[in-house]
Structure formats: C-alpha cells, structure tokens
Amino acid sequence: MSRDKLFNKILRLIVDWEGQELNCKRSLLEARSFCWRYTEPEVTDEWEAQPDRVAHLEEMDEFGNSEWLYTCAGSWLWTNHEVWDTASFLQDIGYYPRRIIDFHSVIGLHTIMLARLYPDVPLVYFHPVPRTYEFARDCLFPAFGINVETITDIKQLGSADLVCSYEVFERDTHPTELLNECLKRVETFLSMSNCWTVPARTHFQTYEIDGEWVDKYKVTRVYNAYVSRSMKKVAKGWNSRPIIWMPKSLS
C-alpha cells in the first residue's frame, strides 16, 4: 500500500471512529483541514506569542481532544521516512531486532510500519494518553490486523533491543524526565528524531535541559550532549533523518 493510500485509509478510520465513539460527524474535507491546522502560520503565531508556561498548560489539553488525531496523521506524512531510514541502517549492518518498543507513538502510525517490516518480532506500542491510545488500540491496529502489545502505563514498560522515538520530546518544556525513562529501556539501539525549531502548536520557545533553560534554536546541541552522557551516536541524523544511538556500555 502506498503512503498516500495508507494516509487516506487512516483518515477515514479516524472520521468513522469519531462518529461511532464520540458521536462527532465530520466530512473528509473538514478532516483533511485539521491535519495541518497546528502548523498554519496564524495558529503557530498565536501559540508562540504566549508565555511557554501558559502554552504548556493548553498543550496538556490538546492530546485529549480528538482533533489531535488528525494532526498526528498529517505529521506522519513528514515523519514516516524515519522508520524506513532505521530499517535501512539495521539491514546495512546485518542486524535484525528481537523486540521493539515504539515509545510515545501517539496514534501508532509508526507502529504499523514497524509491524509490517518486522512481522515476526514482538512489538510494543507505548502511549499514555487515553484518547489517542484508545484509537490506536481499539480501531487502528485491528483495522490493519496488527499484532502489537499496547502499554499505557510507563511503569509496566520493559526494555527492548530497538527503541524508536520520533518527534516526542519537543512537546514537553521539561523533556529530560521522559527522555530518561526512554533511555533506560534501550538494550542495543535507539532510533530518535526531534524537530525543535519547527513552528507548530505544542512546540515551545525554550526548553529546560538539566536545569538550564535553552532557546529552541540552540536546544539540539544541549539535548544531544545530554543524551551523549550515556549513549553513543552510531548513525548521525541529517535532513530530518533519525539519529541512531547505542548505550556506551556496549561500545
């Protein structure tokens, strides 16, 4: 199935799920408009004009709103290559994962790709927000026949030799607490990408990294230095490609 056909199928699934579960009726035209709403200039300008403290409180409410499902679908059109890039890297070095965690995968679109690439590998989808994991668990995965373990409580999340985390930590003004939870679950490889500087609702102007508040245009260096305390880069990210990390204890 091509990327565009997959996107259209997902869009229809969201529309149908909203109608059945939330009694919310939308046209496909309206649904498409929501896919890019959070990156439209008038939306991002208003968002960025707020103090980050106020914006962060609003952001916490966004994930409980079913409209966020469409934003996730729109974002996936620009981030799906991250899974392909990771699979290509692993193939080049002759590595086949034994267990995979898709960490904070929102509605699970990367999870679907991982399941198709590695159909015989135990796969865990982790996301703690009810509206989004309900859609993934109850609608998306059954529709694609995906056999995946859904975990919504991080205390129940184990480790894996491949952990994938795409565009997650820039949605938290204090990202290192969640990052630490991610890092300690990595046995062999971590595939991770972030888009700190992209204007979008739920992205911020400054981030607190290890007690230091850092402007979004400088946060990549500080963030990567923080990760580098315990992890080593084995593949450098460029042009929105994910960085592949490995625990220093293995090198």
Q: How many CB atoms lie within 10 A of CB 237?
A: 19
What CATH number was assigned to the domain covering residues 79-250? Answer: 3.40.50.150
Tens digits of residue pLDDT in 7-63? 999 999 999 998 888 888 889 888 888 888 777 787 777 777 777 655 555 555 554
* Sequence-distant (≥ 6) Cβ neighbours of residue 88 within 8 angstroms: none
Percent of the chain exceeding pLDDT 90 equals 58
What pTM was estimated for this model as a whole? Answer: 0.91
d(CA 244, CA 190): 6
- What's the helix, strand, coil split of the chain in %, to 5? 50, 20, 35
Confidence of residue 240 (pLDDT cuts 50, 70, 90): low
d(CA 50, CA 58): 10
Domains of the chain by residue range: 3-75, 79-250
Q: Give the pLDDT of residue 57.
A: 54
d(CA 60, CA 39): 17
